[in-house]
Chain A
Amino acid sequence: MNFEFSDEQELLREQARGFLADNCPPAVVRAVLDGESDHDAELWRKVAEMGWTATVIPEEFGGLGLSYLELVVIAEELGRAVAPIPFSSSVYLATEAVLALGSTQQKEKWLPLLATGEAIGTFALAEGNGRPSAKSLKTKMSGAGLSGRKLPVPDGRAADFAIVVGSSDSGDGASMYLVELDQVGVSRKAVRTLDFSRGHAVIDLKDAQAELLGGEGVGWSALEKLMDRAAVLFAWEQVGLADAALEQARDYAMGRYAFGRAIASYQAIKHKLAGMYVKNTLARSNGYYGAWALDSDSSELALAAATARVGAIQASVHAAEENVQTHGGMGFTWEFDCQFYYRRAKLLSVNIGSEGYWQDRLITAMEQNNAA
C-alpha cells in the first residue's frame, strides 16, 4: 500500500506554498477583487515561469512531462491561496482538451504556448441558465462559421482561445471547436459574477472562424471525459480552499474572546469546526482516489472523479460558509478576507457543473460499472 504523495511531490508542495505565500498573499487577491482587471497578470507570468502551466504537457510540446500527482499538488496550493489567475480554465480545461482531442497540428501550435503561459485558453460550454445538454446547445456551425452565445465563460476576456461546445446534427449531437478569440466574428464583454477576483465574460460568436477539435458529432462524450479529468483537478483546488477556510476559522476562534474565554473553547464552535474537519478529510481522501484514477488512467475515473468533486463541493462550500459565521459580524465585512473563500468556493462549485450534476454523474458511473 502506497497511498501517499512521494517525497518529491511533498517537496514541490512546500515550494509551491512558499512561492504563493510570497507572491499571492491576501493583498494580491484583494487587489484584483477591488480593481478592474480580470486577473493578476504578474502572478500569472510568475506561475508560468515556475513551470506550473507546463506540468503535464509532454516534453516534445515544450512541457515538463510530469504526472497528474504533481498537478494536483499545485492545484491544492492555488486553492489555498485563492489565486486570482486563469489557471483552471487554461490548464485543467483548455490544455486537457487539446491534449486529449487535438490534431498533431493543433498540439504543435497550442501546447508550447500553453506551457509557457503565453497563451491562455478557456472552455465555453454554458449558454445561460440551466444544465446544458447536447440538445439544449444553440451554438452551431454553418458554412460561414460558428455562431452562438456562450454565457458565462470563465476567463473569457483574458483567454486567447476557447474550446467551444456546439450543437451537431450527427453522432451524439455535439462537437467541440477551437476558436481564437481575437477575430472579427467574436465579441466579448465582461460579466459580473459573485467572485470579482476571477473574470468572466459573455462571448458572442457570429460566423466565427473555428476548427473542429476531435471528430464531428463526438463532442458530448468527449466533453464528459474531459469534465471527469477537470473534476479531479478542480476538487483539489477546492480541498485546498476548504482547509484554508478551516484554518482561518480556527485561528480566529482561538484569539477571539467572549464571556471571558476564547470562543474556541465553546462546544458550539468546536463542533462546528469538527464538522468542517470531517467534510474536509473525506474530501481529501476522495481527492486521493480521484488523483490516483486520473494519474493511472483507471477505468474507475468517472466514478472517482464524481466522488472527488461532490465531496470537494460539499467541503469547500461548507467550510467557506461556516468560516464567515465563526467570525461573527467581522466575517461579514469587506475588510476581512473571509469573503475570498466564500466567493471562490461557490464559484468553483458551479464552474464545471453543480453538486446536483455531479451527484447524478456519480450514480450514472455506478450504474455503468454495475452493467459492465
Chain B
Amino acid sequence: MDFNDNQEEAAFRTEAAAWLKANVPSVDELNGLDDIAASKLWQKRKYDAGWACIRWDKEFGGRGATAIEQVIWNQEEGKYDLPGGVFSIGQGMAAPTMMTWAAEEHHKRFLPKLASGEEIWCQLFSEPAGGSDLAALRTKAERDGDDWVVNGQKIWTSGAHYSDYGIIVVRTDPNVAKHKGLSYFFLDMKSPGVEIKPIRQLTGGANFNEVYFTDVRIPDSQRLGEVGQGWQVALTTLMNERASIGGGSSAVNVDMAYRIANEVMIDDKPAIEDGAVRAKLANWYVQESGLRFTGYRSMTAISRGEIPGPENSIGKLVGAPKNQEMASFCMDLLEMSGAIWDDEMSKEAGIIQMNYMGAPGLRIAGGTDEIMANIIAERVLGMPQEPRMDKGMPFSEVPTGSN
C-alpha cells in the first residue's frame, strides 16, 4: 500500500508537469480577456500540443491516453488556476454521448472542435415539469419531412447563451409510456425559434437559462439513437455527468475554517481552543479525508485497469451539504460580521458568503441529495425502486399537478 506512481505513471506525470510549467498562460496573457476568450486560448494551446481531452482517440483530437493518465493530468493541471469550465458539459457529457451514438461523419465534424474549444456545447434536458423525474419532460418534437419541429421549454441550461450546439431530449410520442416516447438530438443553438432567457438565482447571479423552442427545426440526421430510444441515449450522458461533477473539494474547507478559528476569539481565547469548535472541525476533516482516500482507492482500481467501484458516488452527497454546513459555521465563527458579504470587508474576500449562497444549488444540480441517496440505495445496496404510479401508462394519461 503506497501513494506512489508506478514507473509509466511517474514518467507520464513528469512529462505532463513539464509541459504545463512551460505552457500555462501568464496573468499578462489572460489580462483583459473574458472567461470564454481565456478558456478558448488555453484550450487551443492544449489541443495544438496534444494535451486536450487526452482520453479521446487521436483522430478526434485526443491523445489516446489511459484512464489513470487522465487522473494524473487532472491532478497536475489542477495545481494551476486555469480557465476552462465552459467546456465541461461539451467535453464531459456531449462528447461521450456523440462517441457512443453519433454517425462517423459527425465524429469527424464535431469532436475535434469540441477538443480544441472552438465550439461550446450545452445540455437541454431539465424542464419545468421534468427535474428529478427527468423522463416526464414535455417539450415535443413532430416529424415534418426530413426535419423534426420542436416546441416547448427547457430550464437550468448552463451556458446556453454562449453555446454553439446543444444536446436535447424531447417527446416524440406522448401516447406510449413515459420513457418510451423520448428521442435524442443535437442542434445548432443559433437555429431560428430558439430563445434564451437568463434565470436570476437566489445568489443574485445568472449562470443558468430558460430556453424556449418555437417551431425550431432539427434535421433528422441529427438524431442520436432510434426514435423512441432517447432515454437510453440520455443515460449515457447522465452517467458521464455524475462522473464529471464529483464533489468534496471546495474553497470553504477545513483549512479555511481552521485558519479562521485560530484568528477569531471565543471568550477571549482563540476559537480553536473551544471544544465544540474542535469537534466540528474534526468531523469535517473526517469527511474530507474520507473522500480523498476514497478517491485514491478509485484511482488504484483505474491504475489496475479496473472500473472503480460505486464508492465514488458519495462525493457529491457528502461534499455538497458539507460545503453548506462549513460556510454556515465559518460565518458563525465571525459572529455579527459573518453577515457581511463584501469582497473588501469580508474575511476571505466573501468566499464564505458566496459558498453559502451557492450551496443550495450544488445540493440540487446533477441529482438532488435525495436522488443521490436513491442511487446509492438502489445501485450499490441493491434495494428496490419505489413503485411508480405512472408505470406502463401512456404519457398523455399520467396525472400532473396542473390538470
Contacts and interface: CB of A to CB of B under 8 A. Distances in A.
Interface of A: 1-5, 69, 246, 250, 253-254, 261-262, 264-267, 269-271, 273-275, 277-278, 281-283, 285-286, 288-289, 291-292, 295-296, 306-307, 310-311, 314, 356, 358-360, 362-363, 366-367, 370
Contacts of B291: 282, 285
Nearest to B71: A1
B247 to A, nearest CB: 12
B1 A3 contact: yes
Nearest to A5: B1
Contacts, number: 159
Nearest to B5: A1
Interface in B259-299: 272, 275, 278-279, 281-283, 285-287, 289-294, 296-297, 299
Contacts of A2: 1-2, 4, 6, 300, 303
Interface string B1-24: 111111001000000000000000
Interface of B: 1-6, 9, 68, 258, 272, 275, 278-279, 281-283, 285-287, 289-294, 296-297, 299-301, 303-304, 311, 314, 317-318, 370, 372-374, 376-378, 380-387
Contacts of A282: 286-287, 290-291, 294, 314, 318
Contacts of B275: 356, 360
A3 B383 contact: no
A270 to B, nearest CB: 3
B279 A356 contact: yes
In the complex, which of the residues A274, A291, A311 has the most CB atoms of chain B within 10 Å of its own CB atom? Answer: A274
A278 B386 contact: no
Contacts of B1: 2-5, 69, 288, 291-292, 295-296
B4 A1 contact: yes
A198 B304 CA distance: 41
B374 A1 contact: no
Contact of B376 (A278, A292, A310): A278
Contacts of B386: 265-267
Given A282-B287, A307-B286, A289 B381 contact: no
A307 B5 contact: no
A250 B292 CA distance: 27
Q: What are the 10 A-B residue pairs with the smallest beta carbon separation, nearest first?
A: A282-B290, A270-B377, A359-B282, A285-B293, A274-B373, A274-B376, A3-B296, A285-B294, A362-B282, A264-B383
Contacts of A274: 317, 372-374, 376-377, 381
A363 B281 contact: yes
Q: Is the interface of B mostly helix, strand, loop or mixed?
A: helix
B2 to A, nearest CB: 6
B300 A1 contact: yes
A270 B294 contact: no
Nearest to B380: A277
A277 B304 CA distance: 25
A361 to B, nearest CB: 9
Contacts of B317: 274, 278
Contacts of B289: 285-286, 289, 307, 311
Contact of B3 (A3, A267, A278): A3
In the complex, which of the residues A261, A262, A278 has the most CB atoms of chain B within 10 Å of its own CB atom? Answer: A278
Given A3-B1, A270-B377, A271-B370, A264 B311 contact: no
A261 B282 contact: no
B373 A271 contact: yes
A366 B277 CA distance: 14
A366 B380 CA distance: 34
A362 B386 CA distance: 41
B300 A3 contact: yes
B382 A306 contact: no
Contacts of A69: 1
A9 B286 CA distance: 26
Nearest to A9: B1
A1 B9 contact: yes
